[in-house]
Amino acid sequence: MFHAQLLPVTIILALAFVSLALAAWALARRWSKLGKRTRWAVAIALAIPELLVWICVYAWFIEPETLVVRRVDIASDHWRGAPITLAVISDTHVGGPHVDSARVLRVVQRINSLRPDLVVVLGDYVNGHHQDVDRTPADNQEILGGIATFAALNARYGAVAVLGNHDGWYNRQAIVSALQNAGVAALSNRNIVIHRSGGQVVIAGLEDSWTGHPDLAAAMDGAPANTDTIVLAHNPDAFASLPAGPALFLGAHTHCGQVSLPFIGRPILPIHNKRYACHRIDENDKIIYVTAGIGESIQPARFLNPPEIALITLRGAQAPAASPQPNRDS
């Protein structure tokens, strides 16, 4: 179904196509009368805006509908047990132009085909800034239905989650309840312990930096000492002040900027520590992976930052790496 948020850009692009077509038709009638240099100048003058129009079409309508499986191998000095495979997604933003509950289900099915040991979902399941009481029943049903699809996740050790800023603005308790009903452990400054033959694993989840109070001490309360640990947070800013020790930190929120421009970079990054923009960052004996997410916020466009499932193999520094496999769109 066509989303109303795409209507303005659709109108602008349609007008641009019509304008370029009329300009090309008018110039074609006079082409034979133009000199060689003038023809080149005219051709370039038409080609540049046409290229920009097609880039906009790709960014608003094509790339946001793609999905990349990004395979990542991480060797950590702080990991002592057997390797573990994590499927990581975030920022589904259900209710936006490119993500509804049906698409989330397709992402879930793709995750299941990858057969991870554990699924990690990192918040912002909701599109927009309104509370649930200010939305229509249909909107709320779609949003909560997107979370309900997580019940179809099939991983050896289940699924864990944290909440994002949009979830806090919407209704924190409603999102927590929806996650729990889907069989997903919602971790807000608390942890769970996975028991496996390769050794115990602590998964600690922090509250969101914008709508909560991330507290690592509370998140680690009751966790067994000297145990392989992974820390989750929606906003990667929280990781700047965390001590070394956990084998891996996982974050989201940035969407990798959504749009990356050649020679310019990522103009929009809603974080204080811009170094946590995207993917793997090594810093002060810590390893952080920030996923690009699935949906969009602010503008329903992506360019050179496709939606992704991060399939992370976490192992000890001395363990052999898995056979490399290419990242694929699906």
321 pLDDT band (50/70/90 cuts)?
confident
More confident residue, 19 or 282: 282
Q: Hey, how many other C-beta atoms are within 10 angstroms of the C-beta on 214?
A: 23
Q: Helix, strand or coil for residue 29?
A: helix
Helix and strand counts by DSSP (H, E) for the chain: 6, 13
CA dist 320 and 17 (Å) reads: 54
For every residue of 154-187, which 3-state class applies, written as one string?
Answer: CCCCCEEECCCHHHHHHHHHHHHHHHHHCCEEEC
- Identify whether the C-beta of residue 27 lies closer than 8 Å to the C-beta of residue 38: no
| Tens-place pLDDT, residues 31-75 | 667 676 776 776 777 778 888 888 999 999 999 999 999 999 999
Cα–Cα dist 278/251, whole Å: 9
Give 330's pLDDT tier (boundaries 50, 70, 90).
low
Tell me the pLDDT tens digit for each residue of 91-115.
Answer: 999 999 999 999 999 999 999 999 9
Domain ranges of the chain: 4-62, 67-329
A 10 A CB-CB count for 77 gives 12
Return the CATH superfamily for domain 67-329: Metallo-dependent phosphatases (3.60.21.10)
Return the residue matching tokens 């793609």: 66
Q: Which residue did the predictor score with more confidence, 307 or 36?
A: 307
C-alpha 116/C-alpha 36 separation (Å) is 61
In percent, the amount of the chain with pLDDT more than 90 equals: 77
248 forms bridges with which residues in the sheet?
Answer: 230
Predicted TM-score of the model (pTM): 0.91
